[in-house]
Structure 1
Amino acid sequence: MSISGINNYNYQNYYAGARHNMAKTGGEIRGVLSSTSSASSNITLHMSDVGNSGNALTAMGFPDGTSASVFQADDYNPADPEYRVRYWDKEGNYTDTMVKVNDIDPQNASYLEMLAYTSYSDVEGLTKNAFGDFMNAARGVNGNISYDADNIKEKKDYMSMVKELMQLQYDSNNLPGYLSYKELYDYMNDKING
């Protein structure tokens, strides 16, 4: 991977992909996103809930066909924030995990707990891109860590993973990337030591 691949826009890859997609649509720009995203994978995002929770705060899908969405708990209390993380298996069956945000230790948390933790910090304006930075860091510096039904609830030290990616950004002279990960790292550190 070149430096252009580290938390940065890569013109060459975008241009080649856009040119290919425009050729598929006869040179017209409309509908390019929907046609490319629907043909790319079996990932499903669940953005709404029939209960009181309404729309998901964040949602993500995994390559194995599973997905997760974060909702505010039906009886949400700002003094003790609780989120509901709904996880769908490949067959469309779901399980709910209730996550009390103040009880999360990012040094010993599951992926689902961290989805709620970082969603909360972004929604409340405590961070700007914690959810996205967490998702990048959770894949590991080499991008070789993946998640599925077998390990989605496994406890890991995500704070160290964020610190490692933060250091990579610094070593690569990517100051905006470094500062973004540092904001998440400092937020986690303050919550633990505060």
Structure 2
Amino acid sequence: MAHGQKCTQGDTNEPTSFKLRKASLSHDSVLTMTPMLGKHAVKWKCLIADDLAFNRILLKRKLLALCQNCGLDWTIHETATGEEVLELTEQPDIKYNFFVIDENFDSAGGILKGREVIEKIRLGPSRDAVVVSCSGNNSPEVEFSIPGADLIFCKPTPAPQEIASLLEELLLKRCMLTV
């Protein structure tokens, strides 16, 4: 898969209905469109789960760039394994509304796969959260088979402007954002 392309789920209730899309957004069009996210969105509590610290740092920077460009207010936590994700989601004082979950946690000693973690998230208190699956495996079989994921990013992850556009589109579909 070429750089800048990502897989997005066409309908959040139909995990097999994915579209391959290449975003072509100019910086100006994103800045005029994405303030809607910050204006209507709640304070986002995000959990990034990836076994590689470099990937977590890179994605965190991209999400924080959204704060500057469109007024989103993020609290971002990081973790290295799926098991840690589930421990954090069971804490009664923290409810995440945005997850980015890697598929493989091998290098950090994780046993669970990302798809298993997503399945458990969908059964717990954060079941209504936006869940993004992220994988370095660019094979179509992996990309199109993540039940419960709202979006799928293939590594390298998209630019902040593309993330904002996809997030806005998803929230509009889920009626979590009004025009």
TM-score (structure 2 length as normaliser):
0.30
Asked which structure has the greater RCO (Cα within 8 Å, sep 6+), the reply is 2
Larger radius of gyration: 1
Which structure has the highest helix share of the two? 1
Which structure has the highest strand share of the two? 2
TM-score (structure 1 length as normaliser):
0.29
